[in-house]
Amino acid sequence: MSSFKPLVFSGVQPTGNLHLGNYLGAIKKFVALQDTNDCIYCVVDLHSLTAQLVHDDLEDQTRQITAAFLAAGINPKKHIVFNQSRVMQHAELAWIFNCVARIGWMSRMTQFKDKAGKDRENASLGLLAYPSLMAADILLYRATHVPVGEDQKQHLELTRDIAQKFNNDFSDRIAAKGLGVEMKVGEEIVRGYFPITEPVIGGPAARIMSLRDGSKKMSKSDPSDLSRINLTDDADTMAKKIKKAKTDPDALPSEVKGLEGRPEAENLVGIYAGLADISKEQVLKDFGGTQFSVFKPALAELAVAKLAPIAGEMRRILADRAYVDGVLSDGGAKAGALAEATMKDVRSIVGLQQG
């Protein structure tokens, strides 16, 4: 039985400063996965045009995310690191997926509804089509596993829907050309050209919330800088933000159950667990019964110990712009070769003349 080779793909948008949520929710997982998998990590610059068309510093933001990947420990010699726009096949496959996906699927996406707001008619068509480009990013490499934050789960379900509809609608042509691959979906064995990708979500820090409001995601677009810890914050700033983080007056519980209904406490415990690579249970074993006046300084110390070296390394890497650009260019060449092999098949399946 031929089956898909395990391959990890993920992407990060080059907009704004990277914060703790990006690091714990995504980049740290990318680093962990590279020991046991082939990985492709992409700075998705085309995606950043969906909400805002004109950027002053998109190229530098792209370099920053690249430097963060490298500083966190991603090895660009063993794996592929590149920016999306270098590989035009992303846009080509996205177009085909625009014709596979239904408008109804797209307009149900909560991220679209949130970002488009009340004036939906005035949102860019790209914002609506965003998940179709994301599906193209992943399926262009026929990736099997995608590490992402909790908020991207719905987009991954849509990626699976697109793969499934493509496999179904073109099943005869895929079979006739001998391009079908067997795969297990649930309990069933099916054949198709694209894999039904699995999300890799979870861990104690899958969802990092704002330090000011435990019901809102930590976000680069929050107007209050106190709401987030940026990777590039200095030690004093990190300590100040953690000290000012919203909490309730009670001591920490000794069991995870005791965090229910205490979103701010749960968030800080999750951050500690994520940074220390331990479970929330373990954090509470160590800190259950202590007041935030004790826990917060411990958390600040841990955050500085874990993040300051990465920020320092990022600065060092960014100073060598030619090196960063070289990584993206090498990665783009490697990704481009894989992408073109897929697109040759896809053009042939769809019936686009290329002989």
Q: Which residues bind ligand TRP (CB under 6 A)?
A: 9-11, 13, 44, 47, 134, 137-138, 146, 148, 152, 155
Cβ-proximal residues to 354 (8 Å cutoff; 6+ apart), any chain: 344, 347, 348
Closer of 153 and 316 to ligand TRP (Cβ): 153
At its nearest, how many Å lie between ligand TRP and the CB of residue 103? 19
Count CA atoms closer than 13 A to 162's CA, side-chain side: 33
Closer of 229 and 239 to ligand TRP (Cβ): 229
> Residue 288: is it exposed, middle or buried by C-beta count within 10 angstroms (0-12/13-18/19+)?
middle
At its nearest, how many Å lie between ligand TRP and the CB of residue 253? 32
At its nearest, how many Å lie between ligand TRP and the CB of residue 288? 34
Closer of 146 and 181 to ligand TRP (Cβ): 146
Residue 220 annotated to the active site:
yes
Residue nearest to ligand TRP (CB): 11
At its nearest, how many Å lie between ligand TRP and the CB of residue 82? 13
* Euclidean distance between CA atoms 238 and 260, whole angstroms: 26
* Euclidean distance between CA atoms 315 and 351, whole angstroms: 48
Closer of 194 and 295 to ligand TRP (Cβ): 194
Instruction: Kindly name the residue from 28, 29, 217, 241 that is annotated as catalytic.
Output: 217
Closer of 98 and 247 to ligand TRP (Cβ): 98
Strands 145-147 and 80-83: unpaired
Closer of 147 and 180 to ligand TRP (Cβ): 147
* Euclidean distance between CA atoms 103 and 124, whole angstroms: 14
Closer of 180 and 203 to ligand TRP (Cβ): 203
At its nearest, how many Å lie between ligand TRP and the CB of residue 264? 24
For 280-331, the three-class secondary structure string (H helix, E strand, C coil) is HHHHHHHHCCCCHHHHHHHHHHHHHHHHHHHHHHHHHHHHCHHHHHHHHHHH
Instruction: Kindly name the residue from 165, 220, 240, 306 that is annotated as catalytic.
Output: 220
At its nearest, how many Å lie between ligand TRP and the CB of residue 35? 20
The CB density around residue 41, as the number of other CB atoms within 10 Å, is 27
Which DSSP symbol is given to 204? T
Count each helix (H run) and each strand (E run) in the chain, helices first: 14, 7
Q: Which of 55, 7, 53 is nearest to 33 (CA)?
A: 7
Q: The tokens of 39 are what?
A: 């990985």
Q: Which residue has the tokens 């092999």?
A: 341
Strands 181-185 and 188-192: antiparallel
* Euclidean distance between CA atoms 97 and 72, whole angstroms: 33
Coil, helix or strand at residue 79 = coil
At its nearest, how many Å lie between ligand TRP and the CB of residue 76? 18
For the annotated catalytic residues, the residue numbers are 115, 217, 220
